[in-house]
Amino acid sequence: MKTEIGILGGGSWGTALATVLGNKGYAVDIWMRNKEQCMDMQESRENKKYLPKVKLSENINITTDIEKTIKGKVAVILAVPTHTVRMVLEANKDYFSDNQVIVNVAKGIENDTLERISEIVKDILPANKFVALSGPSHAEEVGVNDPTTVIAASTDEEAGKLIQDIFMTENFRVYTNNDVIGVELGGALKNVIALGAGISDGLEFGDNAKAALMNRGIFEMARLGVAMGANFNTFLGLSGIGDLIVTCTSMHSRNRRAGILIGEGLTVDEAIEKTGMVVEGIKTTKSAYELSKKYKVNMPITEEIYRLLYVGGDVKESVKSLMNRDKKSEMDDFLENELYK
């Protein structure tokens, strides 16, 4: 009997991961909210809206039956946007059993509670083991089997290794890590910096500006992470600098694309509409800004992006503000990081 896995959410990433698992021989159910899209995928064996031209294995079943998708599965993958995770779990918590591993692949922080997704899962399904799957991994490349490397993060070593074994293929390499806080924050916060990178591109700044933004951005991410209990070194790994690089430089990145549009003069709503998919970094910017105030962490890039998105600041004034802050030594950050070890 094939090992069965459920995926909640049939966007690009949920579909790409289903392809990895289906091609490996697992029996996969993907739950779709939209009945029309579900029927189209069943008939065409392709997610034309979010991941076109990637054919779905016969091992993949697309359904609108969420109970069937959850019940009896070894692992259930959360591939819905961050802001819907709590609602989906609350509405369907009775279908889960305590022995199932919950795997989250969304990258964000809940706005109202400022909770990471592992904390949301613990609120609703406290008995279940949790794994965060994160890293530099565009769905468009995973779907066509391009080499990709990610992190399976869990405080439970057995659960982390189980998900590592389930997902590992010749072209999809999985490392384990026990720093769930760092991996979750790296995946979420890099989207904020990627918006900034896109805005820089939209303003037609060059590589110098983007390199500086990415470098200073990783320090912002790490500062907040350490204040919240993460390991500084996690931000030097795949879910930190690795994911930051790919999200800030690729046109597959919806956060970068939305940033470009904002830099070119579109409003936030216009940029979201034109991008055509959920732009996690926009909501995450609000959470990151509020967390920086809560933990008293200096995050000037995040603060300027927050001002642009939520206060209505001027893009060029934000650049001027960042460039004309008080003088400091670069080594201040490195010296400070001695405390993080």
Q: What is the mean pLDDT of residues 256-271?
A: 92
| CATH number assigned to the domain comprising residue 298 | 1.10.1040.10
Which pLDDT value is given to residue 336?
56
User: Do 164 and 205 share a domain, yes or no?
Assistant: no
**Band of pLDDT at residue 310, cut at 50, 70 and 90:** very high
pLDDT greater at residue 331 or residue 213 = 213
- Does pLDDT of 216 surpass 80? yes
Residue 154 clears pLDDT 60, i.e. is over it: yes
Which of 133, 156, 178 finishes a domain? Answer: 178
Instruction: Note the pLDDT tens digit of each residue in 20-32.
Output: 999 999 999 999 9
Strands 172-177 and 129-134: unpaired
Catalytic residue (choose from 190, 274, 283, 341): 190
Last residue of some domain: 129, 153, 178? 178
DSSP state for residue 193 in the 8-state scheme: H
Is 143 found in the same domain as 222? no
Same domain flag for 174 and 189: no
**What per-residue confidence (pLDDT) applies to 275?**
87
- What percent of the chain is modeled with pLDDT above 90? 85
Taking phi over 0 as left and psi of -120 to 50 as alpha, with beta for the rest, 197 belongs to alpha
Residue 159 has pLDDT above 80, yes or no: yes
Where does the pLDDT of residue 317 fall: very low under 50, low under 70, confident under 90, or very high at 90 and above?
Answer: confident
User: Is 315 in the same domain as 240?
Assistant: yes
What pLDDT score was predicted for residue 314? 76
Burial class (CB in 10 A: 0-12, 13-18, 19+), 80: buried
- Tokens found for residue 212: 């500086």
Q: Mark whether 172 and 222 lie in a shared domain.
A: no
What is the extent of the structural domain holding 193?
Answer: 182-340
Other CB atoms within 10 Å distance of the CB of residue 332: 10
Residue 50 has pLDDT above 70, yes or no: yes
Strand, coil or helix: 203:
coil
Please write the tens of the pLDDT for every residue from 82-95: 999 999 999 999 99
106 shares its domain with 192: no
Give residue-wise pLDDT tens across range 224-256.
999 999 999 999 999 999 999 999 999 999 999
Are the C-beta atoms of residues 76 and 8 closer than 8 Å to each other? yes
* Mean pLDDT across the chain: 93
- Tens digit of pLDDT for each residue in 285-304? 999 999 999 999 999 999 99
Tokens of 195: 């918006």
Contacts of 14 (CB under 8 A, 6+ apart): 7, 8, 30, 77, 79, 105
pTM of the predicted model as reported, rounded to 2 decimal places: 0.93
Question: What pLDDT is stored for residue 338 in this prediction?
Answer: 47
Which range has the worst mean pLDDT, 66-75, 223-232, 318-327? 318-327
Does one domain contain both 188 and 296?
yes
Q: How confident is the model at residue 335 (pLDDT cuts 50, 70, 90)?
A: very low
pLDDT at residue 271 greater than cutoff 80: yes
Q: What is the mean pLDDT of residues 29-36?
A: 95
Which of 236, 235, 243 is closest to 135 using CA atoms? 243
Q: Of 123-132, 211-220, 236-245, where does mean pLDDT reach its minimum?
A: 211-220
Judge if 170 and 189 occupy the same domain.
Answer: no
**What is the pLDDT, as a whole number, of residue 341?**
44
Catalytic residue flag (residue 161): no
Judge if 314 and 200 occupy the same domain.
yes
The answer on 225 and 329 residing in a single domain is yes
Buried b (16+ CB within 10 A) or exposed e, 298-320: ebebbbbbbbbbeeeeebeebbe
Overall domain count for the chain: 2
Rounded distance, CA 79 to CA 91, Å?
16
- What residue ranges in 135-233 does DSSP mark as E strands? 148-153, 172-177
**Domain shared by 215 and 324, yes or no:** yes
Residue 66 confidence class, pLDDT cut points 50, 70, 90: very high
Same domain membership, residue 157 and residue 214: no
Q: pLDDT tens across 174-183, in order? A: 999 999 999 9
CATH of residue 139: 3.40.50.720
Q: Taking 70 as the threshold, does the pLDDT of residue 320 lie above it?
A: no
Last residue of a domain, one of 161, 178, 195: 178
